[in-house]
Structure 1
Amino acid sequence: MPENRTATVQSPPPVSRIEWPTVILAVVIYGGFLAVTWWWQSPPVLLVVVIGAWLIAWQGSLQHEVIHGHPTRNQWTNDAIGWPPISLWLPYTIYKESHLVHHRDEYLTDPIEDPESYYLTQVAWNAMGSVGQMLSRWNTTLLGRLTIGPAVMLFVFLTQEALMILRGDRQRGMIWLRHGLGVAAVLYWVLYICGMPFWLYLFGFVYAGAALSRLRSYAEHRYADSYEERTAIVENSPLFGLLFLYNNLHVLHHERPGVPWYHIPALYRRDREALVALNGGLLYDGYLDVARRYLLTPHHDPRHPHHP
């Protein structure tokens, strides 16, 4: 096991019992969702898609925030804020469970131990066949991650979940039952109350929103012998930084997962030198830099080096 190194990151500022910036953000996201679905026929369809995709991805960032104990000290209240399934495909309970497992940093990128890893074992790689391997390699380019990435993710995730339920996992089945009731309510609002076509919501909101979220996660982690060097930093991205609630400064989040999103930029600026030293300089100058390096070039070999 590599030696653990800790950055000399000072303690973050204290936060109040109710973090009002996050409460306001939740109101903006859900209020914006209701507004854009209600008035979807008024603006140009392209603008509707841009706003809808942004809100779906933004809610994913909000869900990530509430998983880590924000905006109140009551986790039931936080979970209620993150639960509405406007993205349709991902039950909040499952996301919460898997993401907290992901934060065992010593296992980052491990395809068995890290549920958010994009790496594969050699056994899984061999079982994919030539077509599957070709798609997997394409999915490690940024263009591939943004185009087929959401479809690959949905297929793998939903297949795994269906197999768990078919094998008799009743707890998983109950999670999906509750999630299904929420999805039915969302679709009733979108399709019947607002009259939006299902194809527009599915592709313009859900799929495009998932693609925006894939942009965030694309270069977050890469295998290195030292697990502190497996987490990246994407600087100088104010627009996407707001969308991702500054998880682009990802090494800081893994060092201090309890820091609220609105404190991250100042804390990063204060401790930048220590954080960059901690992660071995795994640093990108904005998402255009990520695109310049990896738009058509694989970010990594899909096969994890420790699972031959």
Structure 2
Amino acid sequence: MSNYLDETQRQEIEALEQSFTARTEWPTWLLLIGVYASWIVVILASSWLGLWLSTALLIPIVVLWLSLQHELLHGHPTRFNTLNKVLGYAPLAVWYPYTLYRDSHLLHHRDEDLTIPGLDPESRYLNQQQWAGSSRFERGLHWLNKTIVGRFLLGAPLALWALGWEALQRLRQGQRQAWLMWLTHGTLTLLMLAFIARYSALPVWHYLALVSVPALSVAMIRSYYEHRPHPQPEQRTVINEAGWPWTWLFLNLNLHLVHHDVPKLPWYFLPRVYRARREQWQARSDGFVVQGYGRLIGRHGLKAIDSPRHPFV
């Protein structure tokens, strides 16, 4: 729990953590069962639903799965990391092994390193040396990635390219952990794709290109402007007062400052904690507040929100 919380906030959060809902984690268990069941039902019923309706249903299911994996790696719905790993390891989104996502994301929670290239694994900024060494084409891609449209169209391909390059380097170096992780993930992914090929109307290429990649692109909208460079680390994280369906797809992670200050707080309590001290949270963020993703799309669909160059690194 963050040191920036006052005693009243701490007591309110501790009371929530002792509640029946928090102790049983029934909302997360229900969601976990629902996502798995929904995915299986759509896959098995895809011949009846049709190719494109199945696709339209699967994309939000996979987006929700990505958000649910985030909950699992933060210690929900159980206190046992190994069990959470088993619950979240299914490769419904295909590309990212659960353990890779878990380890890099937990590093991202070092608030003093937020947005810093080379330290924050989720930074979308380049340091001065990286910028000086990039080509005009690469700089253009980085500028496009700072718009919502560019982020939606280019964010996933650029992330997958970086993922593939990093994985290749680790495998070439013979890192045992990387080999075990990718062999496990690859085996499960092949089994899942075989299931899709055998029991659904979706060709494997269709699931890869038109379900998993678009789902990752939608998830990229959440991370588009979660953090900003700021001299004070405690004022680098956004509060996005988004509405439905974004809050559901992203499991309230739009209230990102609350999540960073209380990373163990489950998704279903984030809005309650924020509403209880709304003005206090906004002051805590130094006014780093966005009025929903619609506002971001309207203002920055084709206009970069800031520079790809980190301003003080």
Cα distance, 1:27 vs structure 2? 0.8
Q: Deviations over 1:117-173 (max 9, x none)?
A: 111122222333111111111011010000111101100111111111112212111
CA distance in 1 between counterparts of 2:97 and 2:187 reads 11
Cα distance, 1:193 vs structure 2? 2.9
CA distance in 1 between counterparts of 2:221 and 2:26 reads 28
- The one-letter amino acid paired with 2:133 is A
* Structure 1: stretches of 5+ with no match in the other structure: none
- The one-letter amino acid paired with 2:217 is A
CA distance in 1 between counterparts of 2:264 and 2:210 reads 33
- The one-letter amino acid paired with 2:271 is P
Identity across aligned pairs (percent)? 34
Corresponding position: 1:82 with 2:80: no
Match of 1:148 in 2: 154
Q: Deviations over 1:194-231 (max 9, x none)?
A: 24212320122101100110011111111111111111
- The one-letter amino acid paired with 2:106 is L
CA distance in 2 between counterparts of 1:268 and 1:209 reads 27
Match of 2:184 in 1: 178
- The one-letter amino acid paired with 2:268 is Y
CA distance in 2 between counterparts of 1:93 and 1:300 reads 31
Match of 1:102 in 2: 108
CA distance in 2 between counterparts of 1:6 and 1:97 reads 25
Corresponding position: 1:254 with 2:252: no
- 8 Å CA contact 1:18, 1:73 repeated in 2: no
Match of 1:129 in 2: 135
- 8 Å CA contact 2:242, 2:254 repeated in 1: no
Cα distance, 1:5 vs structure 2? 7.1
Matches within 5 A, 1:91-240: 91-240=97-246
* Structure 2: stretches of 5+ with no match in the other structure: none
Match of 1:61 in 2: 67
CA distance in 2 between counterparts of 1:119 and 1:50 reads 32
CA distance in 2 between counterparts of 1:71 and 1:189 reads 27
- 8 Å CA contact 1:142, 1:291 repeated in 2: yes
CA distance in 2 between counterparts of 1:221 and 1:194 reads 40
- 8 Å CA contact 1:5, 1:228 repeated in 2: no
Alignment equivalent of 2:43, drawn from 27, 37, 55: 37
Q: Could you tell which deviates more after superposition, 59-68 or 233-242?
A: 233-242
CA distance in 1 between counterparts of 2:129 and 2:55 reads 39
Match of 1:48 in 2: 54
1:182 counterpart SS class: helix
CA distance in 1 between counterparts of 2:192 and 2:4 reads 44
Match of 1:6 in 2: 4
- 8 Å CA contact 2:28, 2:76 repeated in 1: yes
CA distance in 2 between counterparts of 1:44 and 1:266 reads 40
- The one-letter amino acid paired with 1:145 is R
- 8 Å CA contact 1:23, 1:71 repeated in 2: yes
Aligned residues: 304
1:259 counterpart SS class: coil
CA distance in 1 between counterparts of 2:218 and 2:5 reads 30
- 8 Å CA contact 2:51, 2:202 repeated in 1: no
Q: Could you tell which deviates more after superposition, 100-109 or 45-54?
A: 45-54
- 8 Å CA contact 2:50, 2:201 repeated in 1: no
**Cα 1:46–1:285 shift into 2, 3 Å:** farther
Q: CA RMSD in A?
A: 1.6
Q: Please give the TM-score of this superposition, normalised by the length of structure 1.
A: 0.94
- The one-letter amino acid paired with 1:186 is M
- 8 Å CA contact 2:47, 2:200 repeated in 1: no
- 8 Å CA contact 1:17, 1:72 repeated in 2: no
- 8 Å CA contact 2:128, 2:310 repeated in 1: yes
- 8 Å CA contact 1:99, 1:116 repeated in 2: yes
CA distance in 2 between counterparts of 1:126 and 1:193 reads 51
